Structure 1
Amino acid sequence: MSQEEAKWESIINDLKNGNNEVLRIFFEKHSRYCISRLTKENQCTKADAEDIFVESIMNLREKLVAGTVDKVMNERSYLYKTCYNMFLVRYRNQKKVNSLSDEITRFYYDSEYQSEETKAMTNELMKITMSAWEHLTEKCRDILHFFYVDKLRMEEISHLMELSNADVAKSTKSRCYKKFMEKAMELKEAESIPSKK
């Protein structure tokens, strides 16, 4: 076994045993480079770039633990390539997600002056939202509630939910929000398709 293979075998064993120190090292070594490239070359906001980078670290961890990746020859290139692919997926879906997100946001600004048609649409979207919410795991509902309703900081959420740190909480929140929006879009599209008799 080569020195490089032994290094990655040790890293994988550490991760499987719950020792995530190497992830902190990867973060410190490569976050500035990856986040800077995403923001400068791809018109990605800094906040989104930070989210994406954390997700790329968690993605690498999952692949190493699952055995779908056993070593990485160039950590920086691998992480940036993962970040770029994640950015492209977000960019492609952003318009659809934003469109539905705007509609869902209107739920909380109902008015007595709405027309009957608008009220009917609001009620329909409320049903879709509640149904999408019920499809989430309890963990996802909790983290979204803590962040969007209770307005807790990520450090507080990570402590309450017994997550390892604020970055993990942030990544988990992003994944849960994405699942929620995707399910809501799926349900909305299904509602718009006439049923066959």
Structure 2
Amino acid sequence: MLKLYGTPPTRVLRVIWLLNELGLKYEQVPVELMKGEHHQPDFLALNPAAKVPVLVDGDQIITESSAIQLYLAEKYPQAGFIPSAVEERAQMYRWIFFLVTEIEQPLWRIARHTFVYPDEKRIPQDVDLARQECLEMVAVFERHMKERDFVVGDRLSVADFNAAYILDWANEEEMLGDAPRLREYLKTMYARPTAPPTIAVAFAAMES
């Protein structure tokens, strides 16, 4: 059986969504970051970078949430989550890379400098810079999605499941105020019966 290491509200949610969409059975192995479990030798043997999620599929060990999403979509092509035309695949990769580098990375910088790092390592100015950069790139993606139902082509792809998690994160940081199409798109994606918990719901579950 597939094993998925990680605990929400981390990027493990992206992988859970793909697993749900594909109807796959899997064992979820919790990894409590606040307890330092990602630095234990057994976990480091799976991912020396000490990051979640990690997917173990037989002898295959895959790290990086977007790579895991693509692996699952390619292994189970019947769902059609990877376009068959090379031109559309190129656009799917383009927007996945855009999302994780141009929108997710500033969000992660904000998280690091607001609650991840200890107080003495936080740089408030970087939060302001990251917020500005994120808003600029959200505006780019808003324009791309203005007249579209899906990130690429005329059907769901890995890019949509990737985008939904990142936009949920951006929404939690109040970055979508000037992006009505992205708010609508986000609502539509999380209305899917296979959608995982939102980041806010996952955080609430941790605190209960």
Judging by fraction of residues, say which structure has more helix: 1
Q: Which has the higher contact order (CA 8 A, sep 6+)?
A: 2
TM-score in terms of structure 1 length: 0.29
The structure with the largest alpha-carbon Rg is 1
TM-score in terms of structure 2 length: 0.28
Judging by fraction of residues, say which structure has more strand: 2
